[in-house]
Amino acid sequence: MPTETAAPALDFDACYRAASGRDARWDGRVYLCVTSTGIYCRPSCPARKPRQENCRFLPSAAACVAAGFRACKRCRPDALPGTRDWDARSDLVARAVRRIRDGAVDAVGVAGLAAELAVSERHLRRMLLQEIGASPLQLARTRRAHAARSLIEQTTLPLADIAFAAGFGSVRQFGDSMREEFGIAPSRLPRPGIDGADAVGAPAGAASDERPRLALRLRTRAPFAAAATRAFLVAHAVPGRDRSDADGATAHAIDVPGGTAVVHIDWAGVPPDHGTAGTMTWIPVLLSLPGLSDTMPAIQAVRRLLDLDADPAQIADALGGDPRLRSLLIARPGLRLPGARDGAEFALGTVLGQQISLAAARTVQGRLAAAFPGRVAPGGEAPGFHPRPSPERVAATDAEELRARLGLTRARAETLRSLAAALAAGLDIGPGADRERARRELLEIRGIGPWSVELIAMRALGDPDAFPAGDLILRRALDVRGDREAARLAEPWRPFRGYATQHLWADFLESVARKEPR
């Protein structure tokens, strides 16, 4: 029988109306739990809706499992992408959810996560149960189980290797968690992959020059602006860290605990968007990993890089009422806000890119990666790609040497060194950081102003409401003269000012390109 948990109260009538209407816009934000069957579903599940007295609504899949429900085999609520709702908040619970999503419980345990957030384990557990209905351990278990099911469906890896790749400590724990989540042993889950496609993947245990390779389809909500996202990544590609292939695919170095992974993105294989809001699509990728234990960190980094947890319908609803943005949303449906693959690398690159062209910035960022590569464990190297630059090595280098090696002004070299020293000393600018504290500490560094801070907040901290009001292109696109006027115009766009900025940038740069002589 389903158990009672300290789940938060939701508006039952609104949730039931959404479920009765099979409204896909609610998928991933609320889950329908049926007490008479012990099953939980998406609101859009095509099955006949149960009587009201047999319904419960919970805000997360982990809360459903913690309450004793298992995933519906028909609508597959476990296959939903994540949500950026938690990225729009900066409170303790939101920071904890972001860190768990990035694998903090696997890396440092609940005690380590609580210490990072400066609270006790008991308080952290109480807050998550109160707001989400699941403990940190349950959230982490659900994350692993959903990842494992995706690997089962999409790869030919042995189940023991899948358990290891998904972050389980043992095969027994893997089996217990899968039965708890799905009501079935992992060996009985269907293979091969989704939509009747052939399963893909390489066996584990390969030699160091034959790194594990996994071909996956990463799910996201439609529409997905593939051409615009690819153009953005190509425009910001760093030599030695990113590469464009002759067939239109791109490759990107991704830093994981075991070294440097590489993700190859098959843009030609992205399905055309023919669905309505709330439907799913996928991005075909090939991961080359130092080891299978790096699977989960690599997947999460790619999801962040491509902003695969965004909800285009939600963003369009929030921004579409503004006449300035309505046509831009129609022109580029599903435009994403790509995140930084590594916060420290992006912050250092932002300083290098101040007051120079994008092409020049890419060149200098490539020099930084080549001159100050981070240490990688033996066997963790990715042939043809540099690891992320090391803040510790940059901080230990004299400003005059930085100036000479990277081709910087002395003032820029001093700023780069000061930022690197702060990062090496523990300045947190990752997705789970305290955003306001990070902003304050960045502004205290000489040579870093509000424009740089907001860019770092947008891409590294993952704040969808970051807004670089002083950006020259942004002000031109808005036809305003000052930062205050730009900020005033953007106030109605909260909490998605970052997405509005991305649309305005894309439109302005495209219009300039059309005017340039060919």
Give tens-digit pLDDT for 290-301: 999 999 999 999
Contact present, 100 and 136 (Cβ < 8 Å): yes
Task: Tell me the helix, strand and coil percentages in the chain, rounded to 5.
Answer: 50, 10, 40
What integer pLDDT is reported at residue 515 of this predicted model? Answer: 64
Phi, psi torsion values for 127, nearest 5 degrees: -65, -40
The residue annotated as part of the active site, out of 15, 41, 45, 72, is 41
Tokens encoding 223: 């529409």
- pLDDT (mean) for 272-287: 81
Contact present, 413 and 403 (Cβ < 8 Å): yes
Lowest mean pLDDT among 53-67, 79-93, 410-424, 431-445: 79-93
Using CA atoms of 91, 93, 98, 103 in order, give the dihedral in degrees to the nearest 10: 140
What integer pLDDT is reported at residue 9 of this predicted model? Answer: 62
Tokens encoding 331: 């022109």
Contact present, 167 and 291 (Cβ < 8 Å): no
Pairing of strands 242-244, 250-256: antiparallel
Contact present, 150 and 76 (Cβ < 8 Å): no
pLDDT band, residue 277 (cuts 50/70/90): low
Q: DSSP code of 213?
A: E
pLDDT band, residue 192 (cuts 50/70/90): low
Is the pLDDT confidence value at 377 over 80? yes
Q: What residue ranges define each of the domains in the chain, with the CATH number in brackets?
A: 12-79 (3.40.10.10), 85-188 (1.10.10.60), 343-515 (1.10.340.30)
The reply to whether 15 belongs to the active site is no
At 297, which helix (H) or strand (E)? Answer: helix 295-306
Is the pLDDT confidence value at 512 over 80? no
Beta-ladder partners of 265: 250, 285
Pairing of strands 70-71, 39-41: parallel
pLDDT band, residue 178 (cuts 50/70/90): very high
Residue 292's SS3 state is: helix
What integer pLDDT is reported at residue 510 of this predicted model? Answer: 79
Q: Which amino acid is at 255?
A: D
Q: pTM for the complete prediction?
A: 0.90
pLDDT digits 0-9 by tens, 132-175: 999 999 999 999 999 999 999 999 999 999 999 999 989 999 99
Contact present, 372 and 249 (Cβ < 8 Å): no
- pLDDT (mean) for 41-52: 92
28 or 364, which is more confident? 364
Which sign does the torsion angle of CA 350, 354, 359, 363 carry? Answer: negative
Q: Return all residues near 422 (Cβ < 8 A) that are at least 6 apart.
A: 441, 442, 445
CA atoms in the 13 A half-sphere facing the CB of 64:
32
Cα separation, 302 vs 296, in Å, equals 10
- pLDDT (mean) for 328-335: 94
Lowest mean pLDDT among 87-96, 276-285, 371-380, 423-432: 276-285
Phi, psi torsion values for 286, nearest 5 degrees: -125, 120
Q: DSSP code of 445?
A: S
Contact present, 298 and 261 (Cβ < 8 Å): yes
Closest CA to 415 of 457, 456, 452: 452
Residue 469's SS3 state is: coil
The residue annotated as part of the active site, out of 102, 106, 471, 507, is 471
What integer pLDDT is reported at residue 205 of this predicted model? Answer: 33
Is the pLDDT confidence value at 314 over 80? yes
* Cis omega (within 30 of 0) for bond into 338: no
Closest CA to 188 of 179, 180, 197, 196: 179
Is the pLDDT confidence value at 202 over 50? no
- Other residues' Cβ atoms within 10 Å of the Cβ of residue 434: 17
Rounded mean pLDDT of the chain? 90
What integer pLDDT is reported at residue 1 of this predicted model? Answer: 40
Q: Return all residues near 476 (Cβ < 8 A) that are at least 6 apart.
A: 508
Is the pLDDT confidence value at 23 over 60? yes
What integer pLDDT is reported at residue 513 of this predicted model? Answer: 64
The reply to whether 33 belongs to the active site is no
Rg (Cα) of the chain, in Å, rounded? Answer: 23
Closest CA to 369 of 339, 393, 399, 395: 393
- pLDDT (mean) for 116-136: 94
pLDDT digits 0-9 by tens, 204-250: 333 334 789 999 999 999 999 999 999 999 999 999 999 998 889 99
